[in-house]
Structure 1
Amino acid sequence: MKRVYLFFFFLLIGKFTMAQSGATIEGTIFYQGSPLEGVTVKIDDTKIGGVSDSIGRYYFTGLQAGTYRLSVSRLGFVSQTKAIQVTDQKTIRLDFSLEEKEDGLEEVVVTGTMKEVNRLETPVPVEVYNHHFFKRNPTATLFDALQMVNGVRPQINCNVCNTGDIHINGLEGPYTMVLIDGMPIVSGLSTVYGLSGIPSALIERVEVVKGPASSLYGSEAVGGLINIITKKSQSAKLSADVFGTTWGEYNADLGLSQAIGKKANVLTGLNYFNFANKIDHNHDGFTDMTLQNRVSVFQKWNFNRKENRLFSVAGRYLYEDRWGGQTTWNKSYRGSDEIYGESIYTKRWEVLGNYQLPVSEKMFFMFSYNDHDQNSVYGDEWYLAKQRIAFGQLTWDKQIGKHDLLAGAALRYTYYDDNTTATTVTERSGEIVNHPSKITMPGIFLQDEIKLASKHSLLLGMRYDYNSEHGNIFTPRMAYKWSISDHDILRLNAGTGFRVVNLFTEDHAATTGAREVEIEENLKPERSINVNLNYIKKLELADGNLLNFESSAWYTYFSNRILPNYDEDPQKIIYRNLAGHGVTRGISLNADLAMYNGLKLTAGGTWMNVFNKERNDEGQLEKFRPILTENWMATWALSYHINALNLGIDYTGNVYGPMRLALLSELDPRPEYSPVWSIQNIQFTWSNGSKLEIYGGVKNLLNWTISKSVPAFEEGDGAGIKSPIARAFDPFNSSVTYGDDGQIIPTPDNPYALQFDPDGYSYGPNQGIRGFLGIRVRI
């Protein structure tokens, strides 16, 4: 009987306890309509808190009647607080929809130190641009999108095929290292032919480091690096972004993000771009813009593992068919000397991944492999090349007291073969033999971030690499951060860089154009020493307005610098190590203003002084300015949102100072320096929540093109034509007369002693004003 009483006693106690257990608050946290994990959720004035799970859910139980204030926050997003009234024992739902911060100061960055860290905490200055920033001026590729970043200039190197590279602080494209998810798979051939194949739709954010970063990333990170962080897969979501222009350009981005059971999430992206109109507004007989047909397929897998260990694998395939040339050209003339055309077929595939080892220590193995096949023809000159790059890196992240250590070992293998003199050798017998380049470069690096005090930290790093062709390379690094206050941060960085050069994969002019390439000596690796001072000021103005300033001053000294010499002989491009030194120095200022009334402004300006000094025949150093280097530039993006109409307005633009250009002879009548020029755009976006956006506007409002700044030739054949292409009417130089010394002799038909040259006078776009209209849909 006692057992029966005890049974009913505990049963009643259980019911009573359940009745008094209280209410439950639960909900999901969204970002752009998709669940967001890793968001901190707290109940104010209590110790109750938690983090949203992989599908954005949170819940709190056992709450008594009353009013509660829930606060949610995550780095890079605007924090929110909501009040909720609890009156009974029921479950109450409270969802949140977060927005990204526009100032970018609290973004999580990885590029500066290879670790995820708040941008304000890292000793290395990193600029962050999220995909919202690039949506202010929608473009089909990352190459075009970077025109909005201060200190960064996409440089078009060819007026016919429109290939290009990316300049940072006045340094040429080969000095810029481009990473995808932290891995160096964009290099060599892809820096010339593959940059346009990176669709904007893949980008979660872009991190930019200005100045050498070779102590962490090795060769090519001399002028700076750009790290493209791809989007992470979330819950099931279908997205589409399609736009077209009045020139006949069409771009489509499709994305599908979905969960594969409980073990993985996958993001699939498809990009297609097509432009098939032969437009010749300057009437020089050549296409103003290269015709293109491009497809890119991307897929990224994130696997769910125990203890939230990381494992992601991504792959991408790119195919592009582009051509430019005389408007009467078609593929039947490919490689012939009848009608001039530059036709480029690019096939590229790549795979990359990051795997956290199943050990107690924090260790990661990163890997990538890419295969690039290039089939190009410039008139009747063929350029056939293959490149394969394999990369593996093991890192160990360890916290010991005040020391935050990162140690690593890396191995990079590069294979390159083409049909030029770059991969041929002459045997003793006189026979010319093909000899592909095979470079193996193992390396080790160590980094220690030391917390000196609550407001002071010091980062010391060094890297050692062994290049199978150039031997030992050592690159040290130092960074110091002083958090003066919560709103003032000062950083000082110093480091070294090195660069191993392959002209035929980095310099488009070496494979096309009328000039003969001459390499005077065995080129030694370039070396550089850099000092950078960075200051951030964060201001919280009245009425919730935010104003942030970031300024930098830098100085870089180069030895063994390799530059193309266009001045010594107008018939040649001469490459050699500079018998002297090079310097780039300057200051930059970025400002971000976000106002409560919906007005946002991002603006920046950079002044730079880039020059080289080389010894002349008398042994004296002579100072000269390299070509295609501006002294100053500025960018801006002004946005305003009219809430009542759900309408956003974006006005974006850039302006560049004069650049020195490569002339073809002493008689060349074209200006030696480019004018001040600017590209400006306006966009209107109507949105219906996060599921639908319709956008449109006008690009290149000023209708600026290179052709408008080139004077019309007054004499000889082609008189009256304003074209950046010298002697566009004679692309095979059939009417050019050469002397015994190989130099051009002025004639009545060619009074300026010019030859056909599609590259030398290329410094900006030749695509004029155009309208655009697009739609974004998320399901």
Structure 2
Amino acid sequence: MKKRNTRLKISLLSSLMFFIVLKSNAQAISGVVLSSGEGVPFVSIAIKNGEGVLSDENGRFNLPLGREGEYWVYFTAVGFEKKAIKFNLKLNEVLETEIILVSNVSVLNEVVVTGTMKESTVSQSPAPIQVLHPTFFKSNPTPSVFEAIGMVNGVRPQINCNVCSTGDIHINGMEGPYTMVLIDGMPIVSSLSTVYGLMGIPNSMVERIEVMKGPASTLYGSEAVGGLINILTKNPSNSPRFSVDVSSNTYLENAVDASYAFSKNQIANLFTANYFGLNKRWDINADNFTDLPTIQRVSIFNKATLGKINPLNVALRYIDENRFGGEMQWSPENRGGNEVYGESIYTDRLEVLAKYSLPLANEKVNLQFSYNKHDQNSVYGDVSYTASQQVVFGQAVWDKVINDKNDALFGAAFRSTLYDDNTVATVTDENVNAPSLIFLPGVFVQNETTFNNRLKLLSGLRADFNSKHGFIFSPRLNLKYAMGNEATFRFSLGNGYRVVNVFSEDHAALTGARQILIEPNLLPEQSYNANLDFQKFWLRDNGYIEIQLNAFYTYFENKIIADYDVDPELIVYGNLNGYGVSRGLAANSSFSFKSETKLDLGITLVEVYNENNGVKADQIQTPKATSNYAISQRIPRWNLTIDFTGNLTSPMRLPTVPAYGDTRSEYSPWFSISNLQFRKKWTNGVELYCGVKNLFNYLPIDPIFRPDAPFSEEFDPSYNYAPLQSRKFFTGLRYNLR
């Protein structure tokens, strides 16, 4: 069994984060942002051309400043009019203030960065961005971002194996490899790390999540075909001094999220630690296979901000996970053997991120750097898969205002990916191990042209050079037209280009008993994408209403698919002799009333298919219709909130093996998973929550084919369309100390 010295690694990570302590003056503006007597959470508070902070859940904030003197401070938040106030600070003065914001939903001034790689607001961004805060996810508590993101309409976590529960994230019906996941704007989660790494991102490190559906290859690289998820980590200077979230449920899944933050002189630091554990083996459906994998996962995250003006931000994250799924009688002595079937995965991952703004008087130039190393030691029955991936990324971005109508962005990026495993993917024809090393330098440029207060055009072009496949060009066009203060049209065009590693992206290549056949000389995939978006707000005396409609279309050339139908004993990977299409419609609505009632409702209709050799087939595990709903009612008298959340999923095509007598339906049934929660909050920072998940106790039938013969060619655990968890009750406790 693999041995890892976790304690030593944690010590090294902690030591690296405390290597600078500088002395400086301690001017600051501190206070609370209120509206109608209530604290306003997540208000953006910033000085002109400088750093900013967000208010906490109670509206409190602390804005450190590097010198005494005069400052204009800007306060912006979703649903409130923007406010600018001039402050005069004396040397070492900490000024206490109370800010009153006026409600105005139509302004939509929340700051976002994902759509244009520069600070903008939701209303002004040419690309449609959905912003999600931790308060949104609290209505259905989960141990990681992977489960939490499923509350977003059109974004669906997909479990790909009923034994080890590996998964990916689908956006608008497009499979996980077409979704780019960023941390603080950098491509940290990709390729090998998408298999299990997504489940290791705890909610405690997240300040907000920005979701962009549609092409983003011009700024973020050719892999951002279906869309991207940008996970923005907490600001150390604005985080609670101490916070903890402890939860458990009737499946005996236990989770602990804890964080500690401090500021001293010119350094602000945030340290978070997360533990998730499930030790008990469950077999509710009595097929002698675990319904859920047992998991022991530790994740730590440390972020430091060094300096007040043009600060250096440095972050480190480490994940260690031990996961098992398989036959109930499996023991570690059976690992890799052919007597008792088990899937055992050890994951070891390290990430380093850094960001710095150059101290230039009249220019805004940002530097970014990241490094991640992902090691996976795993067995799937008697098949061993050992892989290692290292990714180095660097980027320089120059944000240049040309004139009052043109705002440009120039950038240069470099990424190298070193990948090695024990499969045929890294073996030459002479049977010699040959790790894959890909260099990907690139340059990009975009310009945002504002014709008037209604019409805005964003155009861009990116050129990357892939050391194995040559030049890659990714153009982009976004058009925004505001019909007024409360209605906006957005139209976008773009393309993508993607190189596939089937072993790191498709779990089916490793599990089950089918043999893998990869056609020679696979061509990179190319895609062309168009999106049309309409957004409108209505402000009423008793609340507000938001409606968003979206139509999308993506066309694929050279799409690489896994063919399950050509031979029941094979999975054949090859380029389509034809084309692929993903198209659909989505609708989102949000209602918020002064009666403390909030309703979010979304529906997505998609058709995703491939036409190969003139035969049209629906994409595996892609429902044609999904719906998400969340209803929250706050009772101020008791400071109690009741949340009812869930989803509705239409039939989807599933992998079956009729050649071996598989009589299961090729399509899943309609099903719904609903959750109910009660939250009680006290003024001392304590919050108690409890509830039930899968309220109506829905369970899929026969998720594994031939569980009695796991080492035979008939065994197949990929028939997944719903969670293998029956009704479960949960409870938890949160505490925040400012």
Deviation, structure 1 residue 310: 3.9
TM-score, normalised to structure 2, is 0.88
Match of 2:313 in 1: 312
CA distance in 2, matches of 1:447, 1:455: 20
How many residue pairs match? The answer is: 678
CA distance in 2, matches of 1:55, 1:30: 16
Deviation, structure 1 residue 768: 1.0
Deviation, structure 1 residue 264: 1.4
Could you report, residue by residue, the CA deviation over 1:330-350 in whole angstroms, capped at 9, with x for unpaired residues?
A: 111111111111100000000
CA distance in 1, matches of 2:526, 2:333: 46
* Contact 1:647 1:686 (8 Å CA) reproduced: yes
Match of 1:334 in 2: 335
Match of 1:68 in 2: none
For structure 2, the 5+ residue unaligned runs are 1-28, 49-59, 84-93
Match of 1:663 in 2: 656
Match of 1:637 in 2: 630
Q: Is 1:54 aligned with 2:71? A: no
CA distance change for structure 1 residues 348 and 94 in 2, over 3 Å: closer, same or farther? closer
Letter matched to residue 345 of structure 1:
Y
Of 692, 699, 715, 1:756 maps to: 715
CA distance in 2, matches of 1:341, 1:452: 62
CA distance in 1, matches of 2:696, 2:102: 34
Q: Is 1:770 aligned with 2:691? A: no
Structure 1 residue runs of 4 or more that deviate by more than 3 Å after TM superposition: 30-37, 76-81, 91-106
* Contact 2:680 2:689 (8 Å CA) reproduced: yes
Deviation, structure 1 residue 304: 2.4
SS state of the match for residue 658, structure 2? coil
Q: Is 1:675 aligned with 2:669? A: yes
CA distance in 2, matches of 1:657, 1:104: 36
Pairing of 1:680-759 with structure 2 (within 5 A): 680-689=674-683, 691-707=685-701, 723-733=702-712, 755-759=714-718
* Contact 2:80 2:107 (8 Å CA) reproduced: no
* Contact 1:28 1:35 (8 Å CA) reproduced: no
Could you report, residue by residue, the CA deviation over 1:223-266 in whole angstroms, capped at 9, with x for unpaired residues?
A: 1111111111125610000100011000000011110x221111
Letter matched to residue 181 of structure 1:
D
SS state of the match for residue 179, structure 1? strand
Match of 1:739 in 2: none
CA distance in 2, matches of 1:488, 1:117: 18
Match of 2:375 in 1: 373
CA distance in 2, matches of 1:101, 1:228: 27
SS state of the match for residue 672, structure 1? coil
Deviation, structure 1 residue 151: 0.4
Match of 1:14 in 2: none
Of 599, 602, 611, 1:601 maps to: 599
CA distance in 2, matches of 1:674, 1:646: 41
CA distance change for structure 1 residues 318 and 375 in 2, over 3 Å: closer, same or farther? same
Match of 1:240 in 2: 244
* Contact 2:536 2:546 (8 Å CA) reproduced: yes
CA distance change for structure 1 residues 240 and 78 in 2, over 3 Å: closer, same or farther? farther
* Contact 1:602 1:636 (8 Å CA) reproduced: yes
Letter matched to residue 373 of structure 1:
D
Of 562, 568, 582, 1:564 maps to: 562
Match of 1:250 in 2: 254
* Contact 2:31 2:62 (8 Å CA) reproduced: no
Letter matched to residue 705 of structure 1:
L
* Contact 1:40 1:74 (8 Å CA) reproduced: no
Match of 1:169 in 2: 172
Letter matched to residue 262 of structure 2:
Q
Match of 2:14 in 1: none
Letter matched to residue 250 of structure 1:
N
Match of 1:20 in 2: none
Could you report, residue by residue, the CA deviation over 1:540-587 in whole angstroms, capped at 9, with x for unpaired residues?
A: 1233x1101111101111111111111111111111111111111111
TM-score, normalised to structure 1, is 0.83
Could you report, residue by residue, the CA deviation over 1:10-66 in whole angstroms, capped at 9, with x for unpaired residues?
A: xxxxxxxxxxxxxxxx9722698999882699xxxxxxxxx9862599x999xxxxx
SS state of the match for residue 511, structure 2? coil
Match of 2:160 in 1: 157
CA distance in 2, matches of 1:296, 1:103: 40
Deviation, structure 1 residue 351: 0.4
* Contact 1:526 1:558 (8 Å CA) reproduced: yes
* Contact 1:147 1:154 (8 Å CA) reproduced: yes
CA distance in 1, matches of 2:609, 2:109: 36
* Contact 2:81 2:107 (8 Å CA) reproduced: no
Letter matched to residue 217 of structure 1:
Y
Of 563, 578, 581, 1:580 maps to: 578
CA distance change for structure 1 residues 654 and 351 in 2, over 3 Å: closer, same or farther? same
Match of 1:749 in 2: none
Pairing of 1:384-423 with structure 2 (within 5 A): 384-401=386-403, 402-423=405-426
* Contact 1:35 1:56 (8 Å CA) reproduced: no
CA distance in 1, matches of 2:681, 2:691: 15
SS state of the match for residue 575, structure 1? strand
* Contact 2:80 2:109 (8 Å CA) reproduced: no
For structure 1, the 5+ residue unaligned runs are 1-25, 42-50, 62-70, 82-90, 616-620, 708-722, 737-754
Deviation, structure 1 residue 219: 2.8
Query: Which structure has the larger Rg?
Result: 1
SS state of the match for residue 674, structure 1? coil
Matched residues, percent identical? 46
Could you report, residue by residue, the CA deviation over 1:624-646 in whole angstroms, capped at 9, with x for unpaired residues?
A: 21111110100011000000011
Of stretches 520-529 and 367-376 in structure 1, the one that deviates more from structure 2 is: 520-529
Match of 2:488 in 1: 489
SS state of the match for residue 758, structure 1? coil
SS state of the match for residue 146, structure 1? helix
Letter matched to residue 249 of structure 1:
E
Q: Is 1:509 aligned with 2:518? A: no
Match of 1:192 in 2: 195
CA distance in 2, matches of 1:164, 1:347: 17
* Contact 1:29 1:36 (8 Å CA) reproduced: no
Letter matched to residue 452 of structure 2:
A
Letter matched to residue 756 of structure 1:
F
Deviation, structure 1 residue 98: 8.6
* Contact 1:40 1:52 (8 Å CA) reproduced: no
Deviation, structure 1 residue 687: 0.2
CA distance change for structure 1 residues 521 and 102 in 2, over 3 Å: closer, same or farther? farther
CA distance change for structure 1 residues 180 and 194 in 2, over 3 Å: closer, same or farther? same
CA distance in 1, matches of 2:673, 2:286: 22
* Contact 1:598 1:641 (8 Å CA) reproduced: yes
Match of 1:540 in 2: 539
Letter matched to residue 730 of structure 1:
A
CA distance in 2, matches of 1:92, 1:297: 34
* Contact 1:241 1:774 (8 Å CA) reproduced: yes
* Contact 1:30 1:56 (8 Å CA) reproduced: no
Could you report, residue by residue, the CA deviation over 1:393-450 in whole angstroms, capped at 9, with x for unpaired residues?
A: 11100001111100101000000000000000122xxxx1000000001000000001
Match of 1:263 in 2: 266
* Contact 1:612 1:623 (8 Å CA) reproduced: yes
CA distance in 1, matches of 2:246, 2:724: 24
